[in-house]
Amino acid sequence: MKWLLSMFALAGAAGASAQPTGREPYHLISDSVVPNHGPDGNSVFLDAPEGLILIDTGRHPEHRDRLLSFARARGRPVAAIVNTHWHLDHTTGNGDIRAAYPHAPVYASEAIERALTGFLARSRASTQRALDVGQVPEANRAEVARAFAAMDNAAALRATRPVTASGEMRIAGRRLRVNLARFAATEGDVWLYDPATRVAIVGDLVVAPVPFIDTTCAEGWRRALGEIAATPFTTLIPGHGAPMSRADFTAWRAAFDAFVDCGQSDRPRADCVTGWRRAAARFIPAGGEAMIDGLAGYYIDSRLRATPEERYRYCEDRAG
Ligand SMILES: [Zn+2]
């Protein structure tokens, strides 16, 4: 079951995507939710002098097609890719997008290196075992094959312009604040802030409907949320789910803090789960409660209440 949760944990409320106008401050290709399948993260397009900046590339071919057809309809090339983090629901499309736009540099942290020999290698091994004993349903096999192919083409997941520190950068000719949060939701989360539009694009540092704690350092994640809070954004685009106002973010952050506090205490597990459901209610789609219970409980058991070795596995540089 663990392989299923780590590979296919699903999340997010799909939002309507607007027609390109050329004047919008960003264009969201919203994440997708298909029951019993892995999610696609949100993707965001920004206009830049040299073309389009594409933030995150999704997992499924359908998501990739939506990205490519937006660029085509917009009549502008993808001039740069930014990956907020290495999770495959945000990076699998890199290979196909780079094949279509070979000159687009990829901005990302270097955390993928450790993931390739650590989390992804373990996840692949457990998924292969499940395949070998016939536990992967037919309906998931194409998705698994695509994930394996993404790992085999690791060059497409790697940055050509590694983000190694926070600072202002010019991407495809557009000036953006590029932030690196180390040892947070992953070992290296990149998030963007555009001072001109006051939009923050934060990847899985903020996610609906439940924080994905698979490769997380809870303390570093809290620190990163503090840095986001200190930024004067008015709109925040999470890794999954609908764009948020500052009030939404503040509510989400409080729910996150309470969930992690509870998960790390010896309070009854069910209290932590119902606490999250209550505090994060506005981010949980109707009918999603049972799924939330499953995921939140899984993260409490497997991460927040794991051995110290496991809990701090993603808090510092070390093998695996
Ligand atoms: Zn994600």
CA of 207 to the centre of ligand 1 (A): 8
Structural domain range at position 244: 2-256
CA of 38 to the centre of ligand 1 (A): 9
Lowest mean pLDDT among 18-32, 144-158, 242-256, 257-271: 18-32
pLDDT in tens, 48-60: 999 999 999 999 9
The answer to whether residue 191 is domain-embedded is yes
Lowest mean pLDDT among 80-89, 116-125, 278-287: 278-287
CA of 243 to the centre of ligand 1 (A): 15
The answer to whether residue 268 is domain-embedded is no
pLDDT in tens, 185-242: 999 999 999 999 999 999 999 998 889 888 889 999 999 999 999 999 999 999 999 9
CA of 274 to the centre of ligand 1 (A): 23
CA of 88 to the centre of ligand 1 (A): 8
CA of 204 to the centre of ligand 1 (A): 6
The predicted structure's pLDDT at residue 310:
83
Higher pLDDT, 63 or 306: 63
CA of 83 to the centre of ligand 1 (A): 11
Distance CA 256, CA 292 (A): 14
Written as six digits, the tokens of 59 are: 């997992």
The predicted structure's pLDDT at residue 19:
45
pLDDT band at residue 84, thresholds of 50, 70 and 90?
very high
pLDDT in tens, 14-25: 333 444 445 689
* Mean pLDDT score, 94-102: 98
CA of 13 to the centre of ligand 1 (A): 12
Distance CA 283, CA 287 (A): 12
Written as six digits, the tokens of 5 are: 């949760």
CA of 205 to the centre of ligand 1 (A): 9
For residue 108, the domain's CATH number is 3.60.15.10
The answer to whether residue 134 is domain-embedded is yes
Say how many domains are in the chain.
Answer: 1
CA of 238 to the centre of ligand 1 (A): 9
Task: Inform me whether the pLDDT recorded for 42 exceeds 80.
Answer: yes
* Mean pLDDT score, 130-152: 95
Using a pLDDT cut of 90, give the percent of the chain over it. Answer: 76
Task: Inform me whether the pLDDT recorded for 273 exceeds 70.
Answer: yes
The answer to whether residue 294 is domain-embedded is no
Please, what is the Cα angle at 296 between 246 and 57, to 5 degrees?
A: 60
The answer to whether residue 278 is domain-embedded is no
CA of 129 to the centre of ligand 1 (A): 24
The predicted structure's pLDDT at residue 216:
87
The predicted structure's pLDDT at residue 5:
47
pLDDT band at residue 287, thresholds of 50, 70 and 90?
confident
The answer to whether residue 305 is domain-embedded is no
Other CB atoms within 10 Å distance of the CB of residue 244: 22
Other CB atoms within 10 Å distance of the CB of residue 154: 14
Q: What is the pTM of this model?
A: 0.90
CA of 87 to the centre of ligand 1 (A): 6
Q: Which pairing describes strands 167-171 and 188-194: parallel, antiparallel, or unpaired?
A: unpaired
* Mean pLDDT score, 265-286: 93
The answer to whether residue 267 is domain-embedded is no
The answer to whether residue 224 is domain-embedded is yes
Residue type, 236: L
Query: Which ranges constitute the DSSP H helices of 109-245?
Result: 112-117, 119-132, 138-152, 154-157, 218-229
Contact status, residue 16 vs residue 44, Cβ threshold 8 Å = no
* Mean pLDDT score, 134-154: 95
